[in-house]
Amino acid sequence: MTTAVRAQAIRKRYGDFEALKGVDLEVPEGEVFALLGPNGAGKTTFIEILEGFRARTSGEAEVLGIDPMKPDAKWRARIGIVLQSAGFFETLTPLEIVRHFGSFYPDPLPAERVIEMVGLSEKGNERCRSLSGGQKRRVDLALGIVGNPELIFLDEPTTGLDPQGRRQIWDVVRNFTALGTTVLLTTHYLDEAEQLANRVGVIIKGDLVEVGTPREIGGRQRATARVTFATRGALAGRALPEGLALNREGDVVTLETFEPTQAVAALSRWAEDAGASEIPELSVTRPSLEDIYLQMVAASEAEGTSQ
């Protein structure tokens, strides 16, 4: 497997402010990688360095084997870029714009097909000024893929869209990644990273603090599971089972455990003895990516204030 993006110790300094503090990253071909981070963490700066839009202060970078500080037309033809925000073509139609951009590339996808892929077939011949925000974002996406790129950069593809619009964009990205295209995306939505990415990198204050699959990031799969249920109905007033570190608050009982399966088995025996066929409100949860992420951000803030 070859590497699509390789970054080593990337630093970016604006005067006294260090926007990137030495970021390392390798994205193999065919992977969907999400850079996750709060606003101002350096996500866009980093992705724009890789897109060849910004110069880095120091470090080494290679995108499809080329240093992005020396972009040429051949290299540009192999990557697709969806910017966070860019000017729009109010008086042209989506089909006209996509066809126009396609003409810049050596082997573009047919404009009609691209418009169909992004779900704009019905709006293909309407002036862009009449499109909704979500539809315009899909035109952005269409312009990023019309050149049939090997690598796509997506900078906050769904920021500002409603839930339905976000899901539509996700479907388009999934259709494209199913063909083996490498994707590097930035987002501050955790569900987006979880939905789309093979791997996630958490970037906070210019540092890539952790990289892993959405499942394992932050030691998530090693963390304890939380079992909760309510003591109602037949269970009301019953003595809790012994041997489990249960925590009661009113009629809600919680338990933190590394062995949730055994805990649930013990609980169901206990409930059966009490004559209850169902344990009310039983749930087993692991910390969400969001919990882990917020912990990381909080830890980094605490570190920042103690310095």
CB of 7 to other proteins, least distance (A): 18
Helix (H) or strand (E) holding 34: strand 32-36
3 state SS of 147 = coil
- DSSP β-ladder status, 199-204 and 283-285: unpaired
CB of 89 to other proteins, least distance (A): 7
Which positions lie near other proteins, rule CB under 8 A?
51-55, 72-74, 76-79, 81, 83, 85-89, 91-92, 96, 100-101, 103-107, 127, 143, 147, 150, 180
**Phi, psi angles (nearest 5°) of residue 22:** 90, 75
Reference 117, options 97, 98, 96; nearest CA is 98
d(CA 57, CA 13) in angstroms, rounded, equals 6
Q: Rank residues 177 and 231 by Cβ distance to other proteins and give the closer one.
A: 177
CB of 206 to other proteins, least distance (A): 18
Q: Rank residues 90 and 278 by Cβ distance to other proteins and give the closer one.
A: 90
In the chain, the amino acid numbered 176 is F
Asked if 129 and 104 count as a contact pair (C-beta separation under 8 A), the reply is no
Q: Rank residues 148 and 198 by Cβ distance to other proteins and give the closer one.
A: 148
Q: Rank residues 76 and 226 by Cβ distance to other proteins and give the closer one.
A: 76
Q: Rank residues 11 and 226 by Cβ distance to other proteins and give the closer one.
A: 11
Asked if 197 and 27 count as a contact pair (C-beta separation under 8 A), the reply is no
Tokens describing residue 112: 């009609």
CB of 199 to other proteins, least distance (A): 21
Tokens describing residue 167: 């899901």
CB of 250 to other proteins, least distance (A): 55
